[in-house]
Amino acid sequence: MTYRPPHIPSSEITPKSVYLNRRQLIAGAAAAGGLALTGGSAFAATPIRIGNKVDDAKGETVTPKESATTYNNFYEFGTDKSDPAKNSGKFKPLPWAIKVDGMVGKPQTFGFEDLLATMPIEERIYRFRCVEAWSMVIPWDGFQLSELLKKVEPLASAKYVAFETVVRPEEMPGQKGYFQPLPWPYVDGLRLDEAMQPLTLMAVGMYGEALPNQSGAPIRLIVPWKYGFKSIKSIVRITLTDKEPPCSWNKAAANEYGFYSNVNPKRDHPRWSQATERRIGGKTGFFSGGGDRRDTLMFNGYDEVASLYNGMDLINTYY
């Protein structure tokens, strides 16, 4: 049976002022713990308890939520931009657990609800730049990956962090069928110092609500100075290692997608330019910002990460 959303009469829709107020109450109760999650379909609309709010996009206009949640690359649900929103209805983000292992003192498996209840969740407004030369500005809700990694006590020998997306062909139609664009599971990785950078976020929500399935529910990585495909979705495993971990796109085409994949207007994709980007602006139409093209910034504008790459040739070698 297919899922049908319940019909909600307009008289039952909570007025915005009331739910905003409720969100403040929830934020106020932050110290007391997380929120009760009912699971399943109701999950995506669950408000997230938010502490600090940080605008790391310097006041740029936030992309309308409708655009950010209907224009996605998430090949587990299909290769068209509209596929993830259309084909992710069967995906069950709860219950969920993340195994953190490898070169750590305290390997652990974290239940998603525990993370939600105990981690310091902030809103971070970040620019998001896809390797396909389009971009958005998105308010993520999440905690710093560094906070999670501290809990497992990385060993001195650990140099890299490897991430892995869930494999569920029954719930993810893109993982089924004859022609599959990538081998599963989708994997990616960071250097440990990149993973510890305060900008690196484990997002559990966007726009103040739990992540919708098409955006990587229930928990995903956000690395705002790298191309979007590095921000791996629906993570089930994090492994610390001393070797550069495999990355799905790098394995598919090494000359096109490097391990680092930092946003870099000077290093073109072999087939297209990265000097500019199209800002996805919502349902604006051709003549009201639909073709908003702007210059791409080095590190997507996050200059504070430049010191991570001192002395490295980011154009020819470490792209």
Partner 1 sequence: MTATSTRPAAPARPFNWLPVKIWALYIVGLVPAVWYFYLGATGNLGADPVVTFEHNLGFWAIRFLLATLAITPIFILGGPNLIAYRRALGLLGFWYVLFHFTVYLTLDRALDFSAIIPDIVKRPYITIGMLGFIMLIPLALTSNRFSIRRLGPRWNKLHKLSYLVIIAGVVHFVMSTKVLIVEQMIYIVLTALLLGFRVFKKPIMNWRKERMKAKRLAKA
Contact between 109 and partner 1 by CB under 8 A: the answer reads no
Contact between 106 and partner 1 by CB under 8 A: the answer reads no
Question: Judged by CB under 8 A, which of 41, 79, 108, 118 binds partner 1?
Answer: 79
H/E element holding 203?
Answer: strand 201-206
Go through the chain and tell me how many residues it has.
319
How many angstroms separate the CA atoms of 231 and 223, rounded? 6
Q: Tell me the DSSP string of 287-311.
A: IIIIT-EEEPPGGGG-GGGGGGGTT
Contact between 252 and partner 1 by CB under 8 A: the answer reads yes
Contact between 183 and partner 1 by CB under 8 A: the answer reads no
Pick 150 or 176: Cβ nearer partner 1: 176
Q: Are 91 and 100 in contact (CB under 8 A)?
A: no
Contact between 179 and partner 1 by CB under 8 A: the answer reads yes
Q: Are 56 and 199 in contact (CB under 8 A)?
A: yes
Contact between 209 and partner 1 by CB under 8 A: the answer reads no
In 17-102, which ranges are E strands?
53-55, 97-102
Contact between 169 and partner 1 by CB under 8 A: the answer reads no
Least CB distance to partner 1 at residue 216 (A): 17
How many Cβ atoms from other residues are within 10 Å of residue 32's Cβ? 9
Nearest Cα neighbor of 211 from 58, 34, 298, 91 is 91
Site for partner 1 in 43-72 (CB under 8 A): 66-68, 70-71
H/E element holding 194?
Answer: helix 192-196
Q: Applying CB under 8 A, which part among 13-21, 77-85, 119-127, 153-161 lies near partner 1? A: 77-85
Least CB distance to partner 1 at residue 56 (A): 22
Site for partner 1 in 128-147 (CB under 8 A): 132, 134
Structure token pair of residue 235: 């993570």
Least CB distance to partner 1 at residue 182 (A): 7
Q: Are 254 and 247 in contact (CB under 8 A)?
A: no
Task: State the number of binding residues for partner 1 (CB under 8 A).
Answer: 33
Contact between 190 and partner 1 by CB under 8 A: the answer reads no
Contact between 282 and partner 1 by CB under 8 A: the answer reads yes
Q: Are 263 and 294 in contact (CB under 8 A)?
A: no
Q: Which residues bind partner 1 (CB under 8 A)?
A: 66-68, 70-71, 75, 79, 81-82, 132, 134, 179, 181-182, 252, 271-273, 275-276, 278, 280-288, 290-291, 293
